[in-house]
Structure 1
Amino acid sequence: MRVAWLLVVVLLAGCVSARPGAVPATDAALRAALTRHVSILASDEFGGRMPGTEGETKTLRYLLQEWRGAGLVSGTNDPANPWFAPVELTSSKPERSTVRFLRNGRSIALPADGAVVFASGRRGLVERAPVLFVGEQGEKLDNAALAGRVVLMLWDHPGQAEQREALLRGGAAAVLAIVGEASDFDELVETRRRGSYRLAATDGSDTLDGYLSRETAEALIGADRFQTLLRDARGPDFKPVAIDLTATLDAASTAGTVKTFNVVGRLPGRRPEAGAVLLMAHWDHFGRCGSPTDPAAICNGAVDNASGLAVITELARRLANGPRLQRDVYFLATTAEEWGLLGAQAFAENPPVPLETIVAAFNLDTIAVAPKGTPVAIVGKGMTGLDAGIMEVLQQLGRREADENLAQGYLRRQDGWALLQRDVPTVSVTSAFGSAAALERYNAERYHRPADKADGIELGGAIEDLFLTQALVRYFADPARWTATTGKSVEAP
């Protein structure tokens, strides 16, 4: 991708003037402010906010203007890169894919478009490799059992991404994930065909991976045997099973680089030595993602995640214009969340303050979903030391807690996971996961679709979540109320 435009972004840091940030005094005024932010960030002019495009330039310029106007200062703590922390990515755009399975030397007919493979480098090739079914296993498998094999894994479980990475690191020649639902298979394949991305600083060896539809897996293994494998794979004594197949996989890609940025602001506290609180929301979306009927359509990302940016921006204004806090509060707008939490990973690998000094972090993502009065759920409940403080604030505000099971299904799919893996106490406390009906409606109608526009989005729960997050920040930014220096995460379930 062309990156010359990025030079303009750096210049903007010195030429955007701060302006006084009036704090909306009523719910109606606050609703109007949030609507304005979402309408601008999710407008066609911003082109879907894809990293490495002019839409990124406009997004960063807007956030800088608003955050400086609200009273924040640069939080990068890097004089060479004020406000904007560079994130360099490597990209891989698929060109072709060939998948062939053989049994006893004879090719097996596969359902049309039911198998696809992607190369992270320019080309990946595996010829007549043995096939191994591992179910949901990955990290604990012996490398010798994986080396040189095409590994079939199950996709439909919470640890799917980590399992795939573990299998590739363990020496598998390729990893093919079996996806149960046809709609999920189509969405995964379409997303990968737009390109995949990795952090350039941690770019590993080239890999080969892809997806099989359930129909394809049944054609390869046999419907009855596949059902048996599914049942056995979820048992405690399951061991990988060799399948009487060999696989030939060939994929080619065009490699490139993308230079993009996280935005980092800071609200200075009276006692920065006492640690910091972090607020985060990803700014990116998919750009032009289209649909079969309109391939050039823009995915504007109004709910995901212009709504989170709107709330974090108004939180900056309210906190900066209120009583000065004791601890510093950092504001982070991450890039490339939609490409695998890459901006959050980059922040964690090169933070502006030591990670162990962050006493609490709150992620705001896709929060314009539920109506006013919806209970809140805690994404990450039980994984940090923050729960007691959160519950105290909920009680003070009279907010009800929802069933956490729905929220936990999204734990690994949001930026907070990148920080939790590094023991930063990070949660999302939001009504977005407090109503299964509201979330299901959003997923069915808007999620990652051109329909996610600013028109008519639900801000009732978002406004209540703003006040809740404000109270949480004030609580955890006060050493007299919260004395822990860090929250300790545990291994995800």
Structure 2
Amino acid sequence: MKKMIAALALLSTAALAQAPQFSTDRLTQDIRTLSSDAFEGRGPATPGEQKTIAYISEGMAAAGLQPAGDVEGGKRSWYQKVPLLRTSISDADPKLVLTVAGKAMPMTQGEQIAVRAPLTGQKHVNVNNAPLVFVGYGVTAPERKWDDFKGLDVKGKMLVVLVNDPDFETGNGDFGGKAMTYYGRWTYKYEEAARRGAAGVLIVHETDPASYGWNTVKNSNTNTMFDIVRKHPKASHTPVEAWIQRDQAVAIFKASGLDFEAEKKRAQTRGFKPVPLKASFSADYRVDAEVITSHNVAGILPGAQRPDEIVVYSGHWDHLGVGQPDARGDRIYNGAVDNATGIAQMLELARTFAKGPRPQRSILFLAVGAEEKGLLGSEYYASNPLYPLAKTVGVINMDGGSIAGPTRNFTISGSAKLGLLDDLTRLAAARNRVYSPDPNPEAGGFYRSDHFPFAKRGVPAISFDGGNNLVEGGVARGEELSKAYTRDRYHQPADEWSPDWNLAGMTADLELLHALGSELANRRAWPNWSTDSEFRATRDKTAAQRR
């Protein structure tokens, strides 16, 4: 083992001495172009998508990659078709009424409430005075001996639920403390409600446990919605999926003779029981629903010796498109950091690898779509892989990029333990950078990036983050800038390119990610999850295919 570690250290040193050069000018050009108003926020199934995927495929071709998408006419194309259900609320002012203690209170979409267009396939939503019931965090977790429903029949009811996990506030308990489990994700809460036949879900928004403010909730949920095409969509979605402002929840609880904070504390205990509220919810609006086709973009650099073994660099090309105007009247959600930076980094890596010695294994550059709609492009690829997942060495996902200069550290989304992270930590150490655990594990970042659909199918996968310990300003400055971005620009029209960006940190990240990909593509070893990982058993089932 010591000899292996020493050999790897020598390889790391040699790779560092021959580090490729990355161009901030090319990165800037790609980011500025993809996040310009001309691309209309890169919404799936819009003219912005067509411009985006054409730009990426042309960039891949110019870099020297080969098409790696669907086979058409006996040849690979640049694109993988991704069929999606697209829905939107067609009424300008959907009827949304909360009746509290007998008093009808009309609600305005985007203000007190954010209702998603239904993903059940229905063309009309009509809910008439569905009773509200508070079900805590809406969790059923037998392995943790946790059940927020306690046998209650919730068919036809509106569930009021809290976001995140029961132990988010206390920092300790049955759900991993501050680190969010999948039970804390809003997607899980919708799914559990659908399994139980509820009429809908009202998630109570609070900034800290959600990890983002109301503007993000509003902008992400009141525009066009997408989902993969399902045989039984009502098994996964309720007719009404919505968030409400905390003040609304407090008022409902007060009218029901309850204290919101006290009930929240009860919900953090295993003995919690559902609480009927003296309120009901009505909704009436029409829906446009149709199946459309979006696309992933795929280019490959074939391996010289083992081309059937695949290393993947991934990132999502989409953003929110055109939506509700901000205070300036801007309706284009440009998505410069999220995720024009990731696609620019992918193209720059493709150029660098294609110019260098041909790797032993193939390297796939995968730009996935509809990430902002629920990781749908990556979910579709992982369900319908262009290349077998059993022989996919690992996935390195790039979602966001370093725009404030070099850092002394790096991190990944979540706290997963796997060989890829060990490799990355070793390579970073040779560059005087250290691994820092995810500073915000309560945000559930592990479940919010495109590596997750691969991870849950056993493929070693990480989503890279350039770190927060800035060379100029330290952690304090890094955290200050991160919080400002989340508050003022994340999922808002203000996420635009700026000439003030310092991309020296991005080029340093690319050099590190290139070194990792180069090692994976030029050695015979297969990284894996730690022995106690929930993904290890799934990966091990396909071990025979990697001998």
Q: Give the TM-score taking structure 2 as reference length.
A: 0.77
1:58 counterpart SS class: helix
Aligned amino acid, residue 86 of structure 1: K
- Shift in Å, 1:395: 2.1
Match for 1:145: what amino acid? D
Alpha-carbon distance change, 169 to 295 in structure 1, aligned in 2, over 3 angstroms = farther
Q: Report if aligned partners of 1:117, 1:250 keep a CA contact under 8 Å in 2.
A: no
Where does residue 471 of structure 1 map in the other structure? 515
| SS state at 1:76 partner | coil
Q: What is residue 455 of structure 1 aligned with on the other side?
A: 498
Specify every segment of 5 or more residues in structure 1 that has no aligned partner in the other structure, as ranges: 1-24
Deviation at 1:329, TM superposition (A): 1.2
CA distance in 2, matches of 1:172, 1:419: 30
Q: Distance in 1 between matches of 2:308 and 2:529?
A: 11
**SS of 1:440's equivalent?**
helix
Q: Secondary structure at the match of 2:83?
A: strand
Amino acid at match of 1:324: R
Q: Runs of 5+ in structure 2 lacking a partner?
A: 1-18, 142-146, 166-183, 470-477, 537-547
The 10-residue stretch of structure 1 (191-200 or 396-405) with the greater mean CA deviation from structure 2? 396-405
1:204 aligned residue: 233
**What letter corresponds to residue 470 of structure 1 in structure 2?**
H
List aligned pairs for 1:44-123, cutoff 5 A.
44-76=37-69, 78-80=71-73, 82-94=77-89, 95=91, 96-103=94-101, 106-107=102-103, 109=105, 113-120=111-118, 121-123=122-124
Query: Which residue, out of 191, 214, 219, partners 1:165?
Result: 191
Is the Cα–Cα contact under 8 Å of residues 304 and 359 in structure 2 kept in the other structure?
Answer: yes
Match of 1:351 in 2: 385
Render the CA deviation track for 1:118-149: whole Å, top value 9, x for unaligned. Answer: 45132223333332212223344567633222
Structure 2 CA distance for partners of 1:274 and 1:449, relative to 1, 3 Å: same
How far does residue 284 in structure 1 lie from its aligned partner after superposition? Answer: 1.0
**CA 1:73–1:491 in 2, change beyond 3 Å: closer, same or farther?**
closer
2:292 to 258, 268, 282: 258
Correspondence 1:306 to 2:340: yes
Query: Shift of residue 455 of structure 1?
Result: 2.4
- The alpha carbon displacement at 1:215 in A equals 0.9
The worse-fitting range, judged by mean Cα deviation, of 413-422 and 175-184 is 175-184
- Matched-pair contact (CA < 8 Å) for 1:164–1:175: yes
How much identity, in percent, do the aligned residues show? 28
Distance across 2 between alignment mates of 1:110 and 1:403: 44
Counterpart residue identity of residue 51, structure 2:
K
2:24 counterpart residue number = 31
- 1:205-248 CA-to-partner distances (Å, cap 9, x unmatched) read 26222122111111111185211111121223333333344433
Aligned-residue offset at 1:313: 0.5
> What TM-score do you get using the length of structure 1 for normalisation?
0.85
Relative distance call for 1:249 and 1:138 in structure 2 (3 A) is: farther
Which of residues 412, 426, 437 in structure 1 aligns to 2:461? 426
State the match for 1:394 in structure 2: 428
- Contact in 2 for aligned 1:38/1:302 (Cα 8 Å): yes
The range that moved more, 354-363 or 189-198, is 189-198
CA gap of 1:238–1:356, structure 2 versus 1, over 3 A, is farther
The number of aligned residues is 464
Cα distance in 2, alignment partners of residues 334 and 345 from structure 1: 9
| Residue in 1 that maps onto 2:260 | 226
Does the C-alpha gap of structure 1 residues 26 and 485 become closer, same or farther in structure 2, counting only changes over 3 Å?
Answer: closer
Secondary structure of the corresponding residue to residue 48 of structure 1: helix
- The one-character-per-residue Cα deviations of 1:97-138 (angstroms, maximum 9, x if unpaired) are 3223354xx235477742454451322233333322122233
Structure 2: distance between partners of 1:304 and 1:147: 38
Cα-Cα RMSD = 2.9
Aligned residue in 2 for 1:134: 135
Q: Supply the AA of the counterpart residue of 2:317.
A: W
Q: Aligned partners of 2:139 and 2:283: how far apart in 1?
A: 21
1:214 partnered with 2:215? no
Q: Distance in 2 between matches of 1:290 and 1:211?
A: 17
AA of the residue aligned to 1:288: V
Would the aligned equivalents of 1:379 and 1:408 in 2 still touch at CA under 8 Å?
no
CA distance in 2, matches of 1:442, 1:145: 42
Give, in angstroms, the shift of residue 312 of structure 1.
Answer: 0.6
SS in 2 for 1:472: helix
Alignment of 1:172-191 (within 5 A): 172-181=198-207, 184-191=213-220
Conserved? CA contact 2:407–2:467, under 8 Å: no
1:413 and 2:451 correspond? no
Structure 1 stretch displaced more, 355-364 or 147-156:
147-156
What are the superposed Cα offsets for residues 364-408 of structure 1, whole Å, 9 maximum, x if unpaired?
111133421341012243244433222222223322222423266
Q: Which amino acid is 1:129 matched to?
A: A
Cα distance between partner residues in 2 of 1:69 and 1:177? 46
Contact 1:131 1:150 in 2 (8 A): yes
Measure the CA separation in 2 of the matches of 1:108 and 1:53: 39
The CA deviation at 1:486 is: 7.3
SS at match of 2:42: coil
1:185·1:211 contact (CA, 8 Å) conserved in 2? no
- Which residue among 222, 226, 230 is the counterpart of 1:193? 222
Contact 2:302 2:362 in 1 (8 A): yes
2: CA distance, partners of 1:378 / 1:366: 12
2:375 counterpart (341, 364, 371):
341
Aligned with 2:23: secondary structure? Answer: helix
Q: SS state of the match for residue 93, structure 1?
A: strand
Following the alignment from structure 1 to structure 2, what is the Cα–Cα distance between the partners of residues 485 and 26? 27
**Native 8 Å contact 1:290 1:297 kept in 2:** yes
Among 160, 169, 179, the alignment partner of 1:152 is 160
Matched-pair contact (CA < 8 Å) for 1:359–1:486:
no
Contact kept? 2:368, 2:377, Cα under 8 Å? yes
Separation (CA, whole Å) in 2 of partners of 1:185 and 1:165: 22
346-355 or 433-442, which deviates more: 433-442
* Cα shift readout 1:287-341 (whole Å, capped 9, x = no counterpart): 2235344435422222111111111101011112222212211111011111111
Whole-angstrom CA distance in 2 between matches of 1:491 and 1:26: 34
Residue pair 2:205, 2:246 contacting (<8 A) in 1 also: yes
- 2:316 and 2:36 mapped to 1: Cα distance? 17
Equivalent residues of 2:117, 2:224 under 8 A apart? no
The 3 A distance-change label for structure 1 pair 161 and 126 is: same
Aligned 8 A contact 1:267 1:329 in 2: yes
Q: SS at 1:40's partner residue?
A: helix
